[in-house]
Structure 1
């Protein structure tokens, strides 16, 4: 059962207007991530994925991360749209967060721009910002969307949202 979308104000977008299957787009944003008190990435080379009911997931170039910030992690997963994902352990300032980032080494057709890019679970980091504004992690333990003031929900991942 689809929930009632929140009202959209000026300059905002609703996750309920995002498509399914998802859409990939390059955006003019600056992403910065800190872990263990250190900046592990600061880049304006940003791509986002938009999917119905989900806040955007931001993908950053692997080469933009500090040396040693990403190490191959355990396990894999599969997205019906993007294909097979591989995980990274994220390191910074002496902190290590297992499986806190992922990539699509050989994404499905239409998602080729994800090659060489990585997304990070904001909840596992000290902080993640877009254009200097700290993001709020998508609810739940599975999803990796970043919520900013211009994005309105309700968002998949919160209790009772499994069937959305």
Structure 2
């Protein structure tokens, strides 16, 4: 966790782009598409009724037609799934923790899939507050580690091992995660 409110305020103020104006390097979305540069900071949390399926190898880890997309400037959406949609018997608590200046402290889980243990593949914010309270206790996952689908469309992983954004055909960037994008 952060040591003080001033640390939190500094982390929040460090972001250059906040969704108010699309930067000149951003792609222009076509019909039915969204630009990650139109998403706000702090993030918006938007309910989504499309079918989400997540697999570890051949093992179905989660499935739901009720998710919440976290939409944050410069990143593809992260999909959060309700706890009852996740097969908790496949999860093992991990020691990994990270901190988001908007959502709080995240805890991680390893997934015991059909091809073995996948480390730190799923996370949640058990005590998310403020606007993020709607995702408190809900699970998100890394499409770089698990096979994820939105209405049967395979999800591509956001680059850079830290981020968990889901790239689908409706999303245009560029997005943070590649070399030289840390200041976004």
TM-score range, shorter-chain basis?
A: over 0.9
Q: Gaps (5+ residues) in structure 1?
A: none
1:72 and 2:93 equivalent? yes
Deviates more, 1:147-156 or 1:22-31: 22-31
1:48 and 2:78 equivalent? no
2:89 partner SS: coil
Structure with the larger strand share = 1
1:161 and 2:176 equivalent? no
Structure with the larger helix share = 2
| Cα-Cα RMSD | 1.4
2:81 partner SS: strand
With CA pairs under 8 Å and 6+ residues apart, which has the higher RCO, 1 or 2? 1
Mapped to 1, the partners of 2:121 and 2:128 lie a distance apart of 19
Mapped to 2, the partners of 1:3 and 1:106 lie a distance apart of 37
Mapped to 2, the partners of 1:159 and 1:140 lie a distance apart of 8
Question: What is the correspondence of 1:101-120 to structure 2 with a 5 Å cutoff?
Answer: 101-120=122-141
Q: Tell me the TM-score normalised to structure 1 length.
A: 0.94
Which entry has the higher C-alpha Rg, 1 or 2?
Answer: 2
Query: Once the two structures are superposed, what CA deviation does each residue of 1:108-151 show, in whole Å capped at 9, x if it has no partner?
Result: 212111122110000001x2100000010001110000000000
Q: Tell me the TM-score normalised to structure 2 length.
A: 0.84
Deviates more, 1:56-65 or 1:149-158: 56-65
Number of equivalenced pairs = 163
Q: Gaps (5+ residues) in structure 2?
A: 1-15, 17-22
